[in-house]
Amino acid sequence: MLKSVRRLAVLSSHVQNVNRNMCSSGATATSARAPIIFVHPKFCLVDEKITIRLTGLASNQIVTFVADVRENGSMFESRCVYRADDSGVVDNCTSESLDGTFKGVEQMGLFWSLKSVGARAAMRLVKKDVTRPMEFTIRVFDGNQAEAPEVLSDPLTKTVVRRTFMAPHVKRLPLRDGRFRGTVFLPEGTGPFPALIDMFGGLVSQVETRAALLASHGYATLSLAYLYSEGLPQMLMDVDIDYIQEAFEWFSRLEYIDATRLGAVGLCFGGFLALTLTSILPQIKAVVNINGISITPGEHFGKIDSLGKEWPKKEGVEITEEGLDLTPAYECKNPRAVPAWQHGAKILVVVGEDDKQVHPKWHTFFQDNIPAQFKDNLQVIRYPDTGHLIEPPHMPFIRAIEPGRKHEKVMCGGHMVAHSHAQEDAWRRILDFLNMHLGTGSGS
């Protein structure tokens, strides 16, 4: 019995010593703790927001976040500076950026403020291989290093975020044979799916990002090339509307397509083509025009498939310090609105009011000239201080671009914060519009 009591006394004394040692060294242990960064979700679609939370900092400590991603051989980077709260925490949903490529409380600012690093400042971040996610490295450094040419110190912590245009079960089917050039994206499931044709502008003709993302939201989508590929025209004014019509009709007849739920989406010249196709085909129920040309010169009206060789006018392009302003090229004395309404389709027009490629006044003209019986079919959304390239949300803003096949820098317009917020709002409204008029579903 006495031996047991002695053992308990020795054990109690040992526990007390350990507790005293832990208490006396507690402040040191806390201050030496490495910061920890939490990101949720770490893998998601590009139109999803993420939460970034950094803990383990000293009270009110200043830190610099650096995000970077490499695509197509180019590096894009953003930076922002945060001050930790009294508990040593930074949260991108509530903390204010004090300096860097954006300021203020902007949850996704690290992504839409990315800028090209290197000689080509007008490089646009375009994901060419949509089957692979973009990998963003996020590093955290001590102090304000927003203006440092290179961050010299080792990061306090870092993580990798993967963001994708193409959900894991979406199928990508390139069109390699036959007359048509492009890519079909199919949602998860067997269908039949609501279907869209998606077209970009005349500088690039085909970009797969938006089509992959639309498929990730339940739409079978044909990303169609109409220029520059083998067997296709090399000049904008040589675009063949018959080719586009035939491609869409072929696509709509595929067994996994619901031919009663068809739509078209286009940006810039792709928007004009989407409107034109809708004016021809009564089976198109909904069309989205994003900063696209909505008029033709009156002398060519009635021949909607031919704009003529004199329009747009090359001599109308204005040279500015920031790049070419293309808006004067579409001036014409007797404009006519593209009659996309004539078969009863629902029309959504997304307008950047600072567009330097297609003047916003033509969207007003389009809206004013729609016949009274079809006015309820039209919805126009206008965004102040927003430029031409309204892309899916959280993609980097760029005010002027340097097209790969041309040497001249071309203006897009817009101002970063307003444009970035517009991209987020417009994408939500586009999805709502398509869902209302075409419906969604991943098939059965």
Mean pLDDT calculated for residue range 119-126? 77
pLDDT over 80 at 133, yes or no: yes
pLDDT at 256 over 70: yes
Cβ atoms of residues 349 and 366 within 8 Å: yes
Give the pLDDT band (50/70/90) at residue 405: low
Preceding omega of 392 cis (within 30 degrees of 0): no
- Domains of the chain, by residue range, sit at 34-164, 171-437
pLDDT at 150 over 90: no
Say yes or no to pLDDT of 259 above 70. yes
Q: Does residue 401 have a pLDDT over 50?
A: yes
Instruction: List, edge to edge, every strand of the sheet that includes 181-186.
Output: 171-175, 181-186, 220-225, 193-199, 257-267, 284-290, 346-352, 378-383
Region 143-155: mean pLDDT is 85
pLDDT exceeds cutoff 80 at 25: no
| Structure tokens, 297 | 């010169």
Residue 121 confidence (pLDDT): 66
From 72-76, 157-161, 192-196, 413-417, the region with the lowest mean pLDDT: 72-76
Q: Kindly name the residue from 388, 394, 419, 437 that is annotated as catalytic.
A: 388
CATH class label, 34-164: mainly beta
- For the ranges 305-309, 351-355, 433-437, the lowest mean pLDDT is seen at 305-309
pLDDT band of 9, cuts 50, 70, 90: very low
Q: What's 171-437's CATH class?
A: alpha beta
Q: How confident is the model at residue 119 (pLDDT cuts 50, 70, 90)?
A: low
Mean pLDDT within 211-227: 96
Q: Provide mean pLDDT across the span 219-248.
A: 89
Asked whether this chain's domains 34-164 and 171-437 adopt the same fold, the reply is no
pLDDT tens readout for residues 47-86: 999 999 999 999 999 999 999 999 988 899 999 999 999 9
The predicted model gives 266-289 an average pLDDT of 96
Residue 40: active-site member: no
23 flagged as catalytic: no
- Rounded distance between C-alpha atoms, residue 151 and residue 390, angstroms: 32
- The answer on pLDDT for 261 being more than 70 is yes
Instruction: Give per-residue pLDDT as tens, 343-364.
Output: 999 999 999 999 999 999 999 9
pLDDT of residue 2 exceeding 60: no
Give 197-213 pLDDT, tens digit per residue: 999 987 787 899 999 99
Q: Is 344 exposed, middle or buried (0-12, 13-18, 19+ CB in 10 A)?
A: exposed
Longest dimension (CA), the chain: 114
pLDDT above 80: residue 165: yes
- Catalytic entry in 47, 198, 217, 268: 268
Query: What is the mean predicted confidence (pLDDT) over 232-246?
Result: 86
pLDDT at 132 exceeding the cut of 90 = yes
Minimal CA–CA distance to 64: which of 161, 138, 115, 159? 138
The vertex-126 CA angle with 383 and 218, nearest 5°, equals 75
In degrees rounded to 5, what are phi and psi of residue 138? -115, 120
355 included as an active-site residue: yes
Q: Give yes or no for residue 444 having a pLDDT over 60.
A: no
